Amino acid sequence: MNLIDDRAKEISRANSMLEVASWASYRYATYNHSAVTRIVEAAAKRGEALARELAEAAVEETGFGVVEHKVIKNLGCSRELLDRYTGFDFATPVVDPHSKTVSIPKPAGVVLGITPSTNPVATVYAKALMALMARCSIIISPHPFAKKVCARAAHELNAAAIEAGAPDGVIQVVEEPSIPLIEHLMKSDKVDLIVATGGSEVVRSAYSSSNPAYGVGPGNVPVVVDASANLKDAARRIVDSKSFDNSILCTNESVLIVERRVAEKLKAELARAGAHLCSETESEALRDLLFPRGQFDTRFVGKDARSIAKAASIRVPPSVRILAAEFGAVFPEEPLCHEKLCPVLGLVVADDFDDAIAKAKAVLRVTGAGHSAALHSSDGDNIATFGAALPVLRVSLNVGNSLGSSGFETNLPPTMTIGTGFPGRSSLGENLRPDHLVHYTTIALNRDPAEVLPDRSHLDRNDMPNGPVPAYPLEGVARPSGMDMRPSVAVPRPGASDPGEVTLRAQIRQLVLEELTEMMKG
């Protein structure tokens, strides 16, 4: 088969997925909060039950990270994510009698979720569950290095959702990723939103697709320890965070900056917590190993500290969890100033706190603007100054940044997608949440006191299926367009057992849609 035939086949495969996703998103957008809650709970519990099995499969397939730590992330993006948003309602209209407005939630529709090889299962879980919470359908496009485990995760969540009453195909996955297929998905006008988590090239492709997109910039987290910090706690938290899942999260600490007057004490505490403080010769060996041609060698992504030390001919004891390599100045040509998705931590000493801030800002100029930073301090003035000075959108205080900025050890929204906002050239300035996949139509009443909102008892007109909805009709229900959106099969609401009543309601709904269509044409 020639290249033209191959491309045509891939585009056909993409179009088939898009048709199913469009149908599912249209059907799912009519569900009410109770139905959505039932579906999300079922999918989250399935993910929770498979957290360890899929963590093991992810490490086996990719060779990245630590099983136990991936279990923590998988649970965080299933059970903990469910608990975090219990009680949140992204389906019911919101009435504000004071402002005399009614806000009607409108799901994004079809979401294309691009997931990385570094955090494959957790990212699939997080994006799929948030899409379900927002009443969207989602197509998962995994990194080729993690396609098997991502496909398994997506299929399991989809099956659980369908068993709970979701439309067939509400979660789909690209089982064999290819450039033509992914390009077609990205550029298709049947995709309503792209949520891209991955390398800079993937994010740029998402933003250049002509479709709405949330992309996130790279991390390169500076962590500052000032003279007021509890040095023992700071050292332990930094080592725990930098070694977590072999430093594969983009929120891991990249460069440690410490005030000179406490530098030696902190180094001693770091060593006690499991860090190996590299000599000048050892630091040079790490530069040569990790950045052979000025670029980070991806062979060492997610590898443990001992294997990296062995590859660099550095002798370390079995207890070592991270390698700390000290250097003098922060500038782009210094490899240790760049993001390192492995347990190697750059270390630089600052003259005072002002110098520490200057060095942290210099790290972020290398890369990582908008992402996150960490501070260990008990000085209120320093904390306020640090937060105001750095061009980041989240600062973790007295906590490891790996799980701090991602929301698992702080009260930030738990996520695998870290928005970098204006500084990082991202349209998303927060941790991704379900409500980022919803917009609201606002009905605003005349401010005249004589005008009052009418009875609101029938505002929630969403349908809630009794039992599983029909599977996607293989002969095809084309994607609805414009106002011509009507279900192919009537689904009765609970209590509406009279077929005549169901038919009448459907006819009235259709008449309203046709009237609105004519109004829009005029």
How is residue 182 annotated by DSSP?
A: H
- Compute φ and ψ for 501, nearest 5 degrees: -65, -40
For residue 206 the two structure tokens come to 């998402």
In three-state secondary structure terms, 425 is coil
How is residue 459 annotated by DSSP?
A: -
Burial zone of 268 (CB within 10 Å; 0-12 exposed, 13-18 middle, 19+ buried): middle
- The Cα 301–Cα 64 span in angstroms is 7
- The Cα 121–Cα 173 span in angstroms is 12
Catalytic residue ranges: 250
**Helices 51-62 and 33-49, packing angle to 10 deg:** 60
Angle at 234 between CA 233 and CA 236, to 5 degrees: 65
Q: Give the DSSP H or E segment for 444.
A: strand 438-444
- The Cα 453–Cα 406 span in angstroms is 41
- The Cα 206–Cα 200 span in angstroms is 10
For residue 29 the two structure tokens come to 């957008």
DSSP string, 118-163: SSHHHHHHHHHHHHHHTT-EEEEEE-GGGHHHHHHHHHHHHHHHHH
| Nearest partner of 404 among 198, 195, 221, judged by Cα | 221
For residue 492 the two structure tokens come to 């009765």
Q: How far is CA 444 from the centre of its chain?
A: 33
